[in-house]
Amino acid sequence: MEALSLFRHAWVLAFLVVPAALVLWTWMRVGRSIALPFDHGRAGSGRWLRVTLQSAETLPALVLALVIVLAAGPQKWDVPKSKRVLTNIEFCVDVSGSMTAAFGDGDRYAGAMSAITQFVEQRQGDAYGLTFFGNNVLHWVPLTTDISAIQHAPPFMHPRNLPRWFQGTMIGKALRACRKVLVEREEGDRMIILVSDGESFDLYDGADEEIAKELRADGIVVYMVHIGEGEIPETVVRIASLTGGEAFKPEDKDGLAHVFSRIDSMQKTRLEKTRSEATDDFVPWSFAGLVLLGALLLCAFGLRATPW
C-alpha cells in the first residue's frame, strides 16, 4: 500500500495485467515445428537463439508497461525543507514625561526609537507591533511585517506632543495590553521588548509575579531595556527572568544599540522542518522507456524470427 501511494493515479496500474499477459504468452506459447533438410549434419537445440528472439519479442510488452506506469503518475517524496518561524515582537515604549531627559545626542525617547528602528531593519521577516504607554496604553502599530510603519512612528508619539494622561508610568497595565495583542496571533513565537526609564506602582504587592506567570503561560518572553538613572527596578527584572528574558541597562546611546544587538542574538530566528511533499517523478521512468524503445528499434533491424 505504501508503494501505491507513490502514484497519483494508482488505479491505472491495474492495466499492467495486459503487458504481463503478453510476456507470459510470449514465453509459454508453443509454435509449430519446422522440418529442415540437413545432409549428414547434426542440428543443434537452438536454445540460445530462442531465448534471444523471445527476449526481443518481449520488448513491446515492456514498453507498454512503462506507458501504463507513466499514466499512473509516478511520484517521489521531497526532502523536508527548513522554514523560518515567524517571531511576533511587540515593542512597548514608555512615553511619560521623564523620557524627554537627555540621552546621547537627543533624549531618551529619540534614542529608544532610533535603536528600535535599527533593530527592525536588521531583522526583517518578523512581525512587529508598537505600543506606547504612560498612565494609558495606545497600540500605535498592529503586528505587521511592514517595517515602514515602525520607521515613521517616532515623530507622532514624542512625549512632548502627548496629553497629560500619558505622563505616568504603568508598566503592568502596558504588559497586559501587549499580552492581549500577542495571544491573538496563533502563528510563531511571541516576544515583548519593554523600554522604560522608571518604576511602576502597579507591579507591587506580587503583581509582577502574577503578570509574569500570565505571560509565561502564553509563551511570551519579555526583554526589559531600562534607560533611566539608577538601578533597574526589581519588579521588571523579575518579570523578564520568569518569562525567560533579561533586563538591560545601557549607559549611553552606543550601549543601547548593543543591547538590541544582544537581544537579537539571544532570541535567534528559529527554523523548523516543513512536511515533505510528493512531486512528480517521470524522469527515471521516461529514461527507461527510451532505452527500451532504442533496444526495440535495433532488434527490428535484424533480430527477428524467420517469417516462414
Which CATH number does the domain housing residue 132 bear? Answer: 3.40.50.410
pLDDT at 150 over 80: yes
**pTM given for the model:** 0.62
Q: Is 234 within a domain?
A: yes
Specify whether 100 is located in the same domain as 208: yes
Specify whether 188 is located in the same domain as 286: no
Specify whether 89 is located in the same domain as 206: yes
Specify whether 226 is located in the same domain as 105: yes
Specify whether 109 is located in the same domain as 227: yes
Q: Is 287 within a domain?
A: yes
Residue 185 pLDDT class (50, 70, 90 cuts): confident
Q: Is 40 within a domain?
A: no
Q: Is 92 within a domain?
A: yes
Mean pLDDT of 128-145: 91
Specify whether 178 is located in the same domain as 261: yes
Mean pLDDT of 191-219: 93
pLDDT in tens, 95-119: 998 899 998 888 999 999 998 998 8
User: Residue 308's pLDDT is what?
Assistant: 42
- Minimum mean pLDDT range among 32-36, 110-114, 164-168, 210-214: 32-36
Specify whether 117 is located in the same domain as 204: yes
What's the domain range around 235?
A: 83-269
Q: Is 35 within a domain?
A: no
Measured CA to CA in angstroms, residue 138 lies from 133, 220, 232 at distances of 6, 20, 24
Q: What percent of the chain has pLDDT over 90?
A: 31
- Minimum mean pLDDT range among 10-19, 207-216, 266-275: 266-275
Specify whether 237 is located in the same domain as 122: yes
Residue 2 pLDDT class (50, 70, 90 cuts): very low
Number of domains comprising the chain = 2
Specify whether 142 is located in the same domain as 63: no
110 vs 277, higher pLDDT: 110
Q: Which residues are CB-neighbours of 185 under 8 A, at least 6 positions away?
A: 88, 127, 143
Q: Where are the beta strands (DSSP E) in 45-158?
A: 75-77, 82-84, 87-94, 102-103, 106-107, 127-133, 137-144
Specify whether 181 is located in the same domain as 257: yes
243 vs 59, higher pLDDT: 243
Mean pLDDT of 242-268: 83
Q: Is 96 within a domain?
A: yes
Specify whether 160 is located in the same domain as 218: yes
Mean pLDDT of 216-235: 91
Specify whether 91 is located in the same domain as 125: yes
Q: Which three cell numbers stand for residue 17?
A: 495485467
Q: How far apart are CA 187 and CA 180, in angstroms?
A: 15
Residue identified by cell 496563533 is 186
Q: Is 290 within a domain?
A: yes
- Contact, 197 vs 112, CB < 8 A? no
CA proximity to 115, closest of 133, 89, 91, 131 = 91
The sign one gets for the Cα dihedral 179, 182, 187, 191 is negative
- Contact, 244 vs 216, CB < 8 A? yes
Q: Is 252 within a domain?
A: yes
